[in-house]
């Protein structure tokens, strides 16, 4: 029996070791951060890239820099990460939850127009798992209604639509670089835009924050090493055994360790902007990003193709004219918890992920509304293993196990 982790960090031992050596030898001199921001902007084909402490704070400072008024409305997909509406509420704005398209799991463009009011100022579409949303239609709606489009690209660095990178299509966009992402600087994020004045306002607001200290970066580095070791072929069988033991008692130990409790945002950060070492890591990651994305895309498309048509399995509809990078591999199943247990018994660790129907969370009870497709997605979605190191034999093993379970 093969043992396949749900994910592996998209960072090499060489990159981790390079960060460690830089920390031990001291910071890097020079304009490395500006060089990384310039490279990032060039990669996307935009004029400006401004580094931020994380995706949620990147979004916060974007909305702050748009000079919105308290009570203004921001349309978001209901199926999202809680930090998105939390950033909106932090500024005294109103999140307007819109249901998703049941076929592609991204925001339903028909329901966007139904939810536009005289107070609507912003639409934040997500490219879920690096799958392009119906961005042409969203941009058309926004232009007609004089609404800003802020692209949520937290899962989609490298995704393309009609030859252009996502993150260059809306008024402004944001990215996040956590250890579990397909691109990582061991924390941090980025804001991108072609708007000179907006970029200057974002940069001015973020300039008040200190850079990540080498001490803080060291602890993030330890987390990176830990995840790399735990998901390695040598150590994962031990980790798998622990996951199986807890699952026998109905406990998802991985979720217990990594789940972040849904809450409103607290105090503004005082630090967290990228330092020179993280910027140097970012340049290294950019150099290899397209290769890793291509490997993951190829495997994701093959997995979808081979699972298509199996009973009780539904594959999301991928948009046309798009290069979808598969930062995750979502599949909708019936009896999610039972299927997950059966897959785990066969050595395949899958995840329920962290996206959920935020429209029904108590923390946003003042903005609750019914979004049935978002709720169904939360109840049915599983994220299958998909990463550059996934072997052909592992992929075939996953397909065969799923087919056998469907019989």
Query: Any idea which residues carry the catalytic annotation?
Result: 181
Instruction: Give the separation between CA 8 and CA 239, rounded to whole angstroms.
Output: 13
Q: Which two tokens stand for residue 381?
A: 């979605």
Query: Rounded to the nearest 5 degrees, what angle is found at the Cα of 82, between the Cα atoms of 131 and 194?
Result: 55
Bin 166: left if φ > 0, else alpha if -120 < ψ < 50, else beta: beta
Instruction: Give the separation between CA 49 and CA 324, rounded to whole angstroms.
Output: 22
- The answer to whether residues 232 and 331 touch, using CB atoms and an 8 Å cutoff, is no
Query: Rounded to the nearest 5 degrees, what angle is found at the Cα of 230, between the Cα atoms of 228 and 232?
Result: 65
SS3 assignment, position 194: coil
Instruction: Give the separation between CA 190 and CA 176, rounded to whole angstroms.
Output: 6
Instruction: Give the separation between CA 53 and CA 212, rounded to whole angstroms.
Output: 8
Dihedrals φ, ψ of 232, to 5°? Answer: -75, 155
Instruction: Give the separation between CA 207 and CA 48, rounded to whole angstroms.
Output: 15
Instruction: Give the separation between CA 179 and CA 187, rounded to whole angstroms.
Output: 7
Name beta bridge partners: 151. Answer: 173
The radius of gyration of the chain from alpha carbons, rounded to an integer in Å, stands at: 21
Instruction: Give the separation between CA 400 and CA 181, rounded to whole angstroms.
Output: 28
Handedness of CA 164, 315, 128, 89 (dihedral sign): positive
| Residue 200 CB coordination number (10 Å) | 13
Instruction: Give the separation between CA 21 and CA 138, rounded to whole angstroms.
Output: 46
Instruction: Give the separation between CA 282 and CA 276, rounded to whole angstroms.
Output: 10
- The answer to whether residues 107 and 152 touch, using CB atoms and an 8 Å cutoff, is no
Bin 347: left if φ > 0, else alpha if -120 < ψ < 50, else beta: left
Q: Report the relative pairing of strands 172-176 and 160-161 from DSSP bridges.
A: unpaired
């Amino acid at each position: 029996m093969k043992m396949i982790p749900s994910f592996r960090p998209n960072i090499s031992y060489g990159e981790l070791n390079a960060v460690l050596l830089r920390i031990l030898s001291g910071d890097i001199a020079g304009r490395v951060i500006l060089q990384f921001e310039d490279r990032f902007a060039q990669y996307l084909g935009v004029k400006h890239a401004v580094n931020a402490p994380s995706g949620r704070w990147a979004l916060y400072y974007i909305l702050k820099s748009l000079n919105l008024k308290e009570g203004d409305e921001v349309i978001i997909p209901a199926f999202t990460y809680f930090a998105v509406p939390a950033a909106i509420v932090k500024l005294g704005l109103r999140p307007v939850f819109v249901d998703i398209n049941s076929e592609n799991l991204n925001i339903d463009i028909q329901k966007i127009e139904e939810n536009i009011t005289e107070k609507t100022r912003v639409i934040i579409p997500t490219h879920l798992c690096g799958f392009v949303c119906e961005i042409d239609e969203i941009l058309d709606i926004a232009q007609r209604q004089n609404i800003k489009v802020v692209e949520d690209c937290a899962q989609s660095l490298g995704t393309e639509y009609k030859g252009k990178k996502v993150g260059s299509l809306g008024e402004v966009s944001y990215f996040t670089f956590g250890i579990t992402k397909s691109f990582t600087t061991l924390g941090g994020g980025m804001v991108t835009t072609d708007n000179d004045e907006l970029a200057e306002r974002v940069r001015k607001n973020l300039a008040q924050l200190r850079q990540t200290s080498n001490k803080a970066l060291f602890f993030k580095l330890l987390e990176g090493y830990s995840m790399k070791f735990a998901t390695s072929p040598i150590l994962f069988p031990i980790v798998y055994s622990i996951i199986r033991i807890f699952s026998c008692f109905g406990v998802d130990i991985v979720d217990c360790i990594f789940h972040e409790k849904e809450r409103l945002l607290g105090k503004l950060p005082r630090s967290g902007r990228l330092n020179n070492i993280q910027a140097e890591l970012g340049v290294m990651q950019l150099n290899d990003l397209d290769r890793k994305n291509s490997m993951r895309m190829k495997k994701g498309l093959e997995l979808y193709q081979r699972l298509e048509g199996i009973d009780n399995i539904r594959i999301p509809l991928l948009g046309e004219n798009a290069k979808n990078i598969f930062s995750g591999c979502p599949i909708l199943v019936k009896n999610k918890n039972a299927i997950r247990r059966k897959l785990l018994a066969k050595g395949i660790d899958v995840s329920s992920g962290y996206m959920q129907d935020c429209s029904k969370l108590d923390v946003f009870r003042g903005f609750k509304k019914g979004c049935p497709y978002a709720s169904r997605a939360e109840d049915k979605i599983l994220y299958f293993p998909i990463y550059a190191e996934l072997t052909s034999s592992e992929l075939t093993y996953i397909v065969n196990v799923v087919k056998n379970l469907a019989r």
